[in-house]
Homo-oligomer: A and B are copies of this chain.
Amino acid sequence: MRRADASAQDEVRRQNLSAVLRLLHFHGPASRSDIVASTGFNRSTVGSLTSELVKTGLVRERPGVVRGKGRPSNVVEPVSTSVHVLAFDVTQSGVGAARVGLGGYMLQVRRRLHQTTPMDVPGVVELIATLAREMDSRATPGSVCLGIVVSIPGSVRQPDGLVRRSPPLGWHEVPLADLLRVATEHRFPVAVGNDGDLGVVAEYLRGSARGQQDVLYVRGEAGVGGGVVVDGELLKGAGGYAGEVGHIVVKPGGRVCSCGARGCWEAEIGDAAIIRSVGRDPREAEIDDVLSDVAVGNRRAVAGVRKTGEWVGIGLASLVNLFNPRVVVLGGTLGALYPTMEPTLAEAFARALGPIREQALLVRSELGSDAQLIGAAEVAFADVLEDPLGTLEARRTGGDEADEDVADVPMPRSAGTQRSASR
């Protein structure tokens, strides 16, 4: 066999292993027959690919349940304790953390409120590093850590993970990825991404936008972030900063926004604006107070939230006129309050152009506050899904490579292609 042929065969093998692992990672346990149907590979190919993946420890096989007559097909499933990612979501109020195993299982979740002001970069870095060490030490022995990925509400430069600016955190030019590598003694690959980008990645792969190719995601928190998937690809723009939906102008001369400008959407629909709209002071009340008030039907709270809903609808109309998405996913506070906002939001949203409006489905996030953690995890899973054997090999021998980046924040591919081929 010539060498070129050998490497072409290796490449086909890699692609096929990737297709099977991707299917299991995104769609969960499947019988061999399911895999045959979904991938279009023949039975013996699926058998051999499965065996190879079982050897790596990434998947396992168990006898399937007998349904009707005949020999049950074995069930193949991803092993959540074979590889894991340490995912973090930094917001103005605190840090969410999760150890996420293959298959997207949240194996461990932690939430910590900031003890210091978020301004305090060393404090946040130390908190993340401590959580990372603690969560990694709780992982099943032998499970390979694919890296630390951190979601930040702000503009993050790729591939070096420099936080250019994060108004909600009050950060400017913070080399977060570098700081975290040092704080964790270069034991883990580190990547940093924008919260809106990671959110839309999560909703696209595992949430409310699954199966759709054109998606707009908006996350309401202290800051308002967003992300856009265009024809199955994450919208990045020239520098990776695209999708700053919180900073479109909706009210010229309006309130000063965290970014310094006046009248941004964030200044009208961010948590502080919502708290204000229900007649409370954002320096004293918290958004959770509003959520509780709304939950018990407090009239003032409901009226305030409805008023904010108008602004949400106005901004969304602008955004769908620009992106013509199939699905608009509302996350964070906006997702939580969507049912209350719905009447006023829909009325304002009706201003969107007809042909565009009729294609856009508004939904609330299914993933809620886990979206950023899930999106972050998928960023680090991307490599092992693309090249299962090669990535495991590299991570296990580790050492020198351990302080490499998790490269860029890429668009992880879904299992969509394989699935649709068989439908």
Q: Chain A interface (Cβ within 8 Å of chain B)?
A: 155, 157, 164-165, 213-214, 228, 230-231, 233, 235-245, 247-252, 259-262, 314-315, 317-319, 321-326, 351-356, 359-360
Contacts and interface: CB of A to CB of B under 8 A. Distances in A.
A165 B238 contact: no
A247 B350 CA distance: 13
A250 B249 contact: yes
> How many copies of this chain sit in the oligomeric assembly?
2
A240 B324 contact: yes
Nearest to A157: B355
A324 B237 contact: yes
Given A249-B318, A322-B322, 19 more contacts: A155-B355, A164-B354, A214-B237, A228-B322, A230-B237, A237-B323, A237-B356, A239-B324, A239-B355, A239-B356, A241-B353, A241-B356, A243-B324, A244-B353, A245-B322, A249-B250, A249-B351, A251-B252, A252-B314
A321 B240 CA distance: 11
A178 to B, nearest CB: 18
A252 B315 CA distance: 10
21 contacts: A157-B355, A164-B354, A214-B238, A228-B322, A230-B242, A237-B356, A238-B359, A239-B355, A239-B356, A240-B324, A241-B355, A241-B359, A243-B324, A244-B356, A245-B321, A247-B352, A248-B322, A249-B250, A259-B353, A261-B317, A262-B351
Contacts of A359: 238-239, 241
Contacts of A351: 249, 260-262
B165 A354 contact: yes
Contacts of A323: 235, 237, 242
